[in-house]
């Protein structure tokens, strides 16, 4: 028993070390963003908001932030719509070629982003849609729709299989049932999907960089700064991006959790 406890302590420390490794870059980036040194190290320099002042004064950053906002919200709406349609089709119907049908939506995230980026860039040039903000939106919705689909599909799994038929039985047409039963039931998952896809889109840089042309998003700006030099501005932008992403993820999780709470109560 004593050996067991020692082992538990060792394992606990090990898990903690893994978490330190995972979170160290995030936390250090935040610390560096408030540090006066250009090459931050230990001991840390003075507290400074210099880098924030710098990025706030940079019109490029503002434009990129606006672009990121537009791209991630549009992506979220399209991807969640596509994800919902597919999740519902999968839940409700059995049909021929369902396997390939599901592969169509689930495959993109398993292909390296650099390859998707090249393929999208070439294709958009070919069909005359490259270099626009909407090019990023389209590419991102292909990449993120599976996340929305997964979240909504899980929610549909929790639905009493008789619920839909019960609504028909009470005089609701299929369309009315969709509006008054399926969508209300999936609402938490739909919000969860919106925030999740927005968060993924907000951080994506490879595809954005390739297809964006002159319309840069925040991650693309970061990429370009990083390519040039060590510039602590990156930490400031990074912290800003991190906070937005985190807010989105936490919101997604809140909806996810609230729905689990509800399902355990019923």
Partner 1 sequence: MSSKSGRSINIYALTWRLPIIFWQFIFFVGPVLFMVAMSFFLVKNYRMTEAFEFVNWSKMLSRGYFWDSYWYTVFIASVSTTCAMCLAFPAAFALAFRASESTRRWAIFLLIIPFFTSYLVRTFSWFVILSESGVVNAILGYIGLGPYTMLNTNFGTLVGYMTLTLPLVVILQTVTMANIDKTLVEAARNLGCRPLATIWQVILPLSKTGLIIAAIFCFILSFGDFVAPFYLGGSQEPTLPILILDTTKSGQQWPRAAVVAIMMMLTLFAIAFTGIALAYRKRKGAK
Partner 2 sequence: MSAPLVIFDKVQKTFGDFVAVKELDFEIREGEFLAIMGPSGCGKTTTLRMLAGLEAPSVGEIRLNGEIMNDVAPHERDTPLVWQSLALFPFLTARENVEFGLKMRGVDKAERKERALKWLGKMGILEFADRDISTLSGGQKQRVALARSLVMEPQILLLDEPLSALDAHLVIRMQAVLTDLQRELGITFVYVTHSQSEAFAMADRVVIMGNGEIAQIGSPKDIYRAPANQFVAEFVGRNNILSGTVTKLTDDTARITTPSGEFTVPTNDVLLIEGHTASFVISADLVHISIDKPVGDNAAKCKLISEEFVGSMVTLFLEDAQGHEFKVQMQERELSKFDLNSGDEIWLSWDTSSAHVLNEG
Cross-strand bridge partners of residue 47 = 35
Q: Per residue in 82-91, is it b (16+ CB within 10 Å) or e — as a string?
A: bbbebbbebb
158, burial (CB in 10 Å: exposed 0-12, middle 13-18, buried 19+): middle
* Cis peptide bond upstream of 157, omega within 30: no
Near partner 1 in 184-243, by CB under 8 A: 196, 199-200, 203, 205-206, 210, 219, 222-223, 226, 230, 234-235, 237-238, 241-242
Dihedral sign for Cα atoms in the order 122, 125, 127, 131:
positive
Q: In the complex, what is the shortest distance from the CB of residue 114 to partner 1, in angstroms, rounded to a whole number?
A: 4
Taking CB under 8 A as the binding criterion, the range among 58-66, 67-75, 103-111, 186-194 that sits at the site for partner 1 is: 103-111
Assess 133 for contact with partner 1 (CB under 8 A): no
State the Cα torsion 246-252-258-259 to the nearest 10°: -160
- Longest CA pairwise span in the chain (Å): 72
Assess 185 for contact with partner 2 (CB under 8 A): yes
Assess 266 for contact with partner 2 (CB under 8 A): yes
Near partner 2 in 141-160, by CB under 8 A: 160
The dihedrals phi and psi of 69, each to the nearest 5 degrees, come to -60, -50
Taking CB under 8 A as the binding criterion, the range among 16-24, 61-69, 150-158, 185-193 that sits at the site for partner 1 is: 16-24
Assess 187 for contact with partner 2 (CB under 8 A): yes
Assess 118 for contact with partner 1 (CB under 8 A): yes
**Residues interacting with partner 2, by CB under 8 A?**
160-163, 165-174, 176-177, 180-181, 184-185, 187, 262, 265-266
């Amino acid at each position: 028993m004593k050996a067991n406890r020692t082992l538990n302590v060792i394992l606990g420390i090990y898990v903690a070390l893994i978490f330190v490794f995972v979170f160290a870059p995030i936390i250090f980036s935040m610390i560096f963003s408030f540090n006066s040194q250009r090459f931050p190290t230990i001991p840390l320099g003075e507290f400074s908001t210099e880098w924030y002042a710098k990025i706030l004064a940079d019109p490029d950053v503002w434009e990129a932030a606006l672009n990121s906002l537009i791209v991630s919200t549009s992506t979220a709406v399209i991807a969640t719509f596509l994800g919902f349609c597919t999740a519902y089709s999968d839940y409700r119907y059995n049909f021929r070629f369902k396997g390939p049908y599901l592969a169509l939506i689930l495959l993109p995230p398993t292909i390296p982003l650099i390859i998707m980026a090249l393929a999208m860039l070439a294709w958009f040039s070919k069909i005359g849609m490259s270099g626009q903000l909407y090019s990023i939106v389209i590419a991102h919705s292909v990449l993120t729709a599976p996340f929305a689909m997964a979240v909504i599909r899980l929610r549909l799994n929790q639905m009493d299989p008789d619920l839909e038929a019960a609504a028909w039985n009470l005089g609701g047409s299929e369309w009315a049932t969709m509006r008054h039963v399926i969508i209300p039931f999936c609402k938490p998952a739909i919000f969860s999907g919106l925030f999740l896809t927005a968060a993924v889109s907000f951080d994506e840089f490879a595809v954005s960089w390739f297809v964006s042309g002159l319309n840069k998003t925040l991650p693309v700006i970061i990429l370009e700064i990083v390519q040039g030099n060590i510039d602590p501005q990156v930490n400031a932008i990074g912290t800003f991006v991190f906070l937005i992403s985190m807010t989105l993820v936490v919101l997604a999780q809140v909806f996810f959790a609230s729905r689990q709470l509800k399902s355990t109560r019923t």
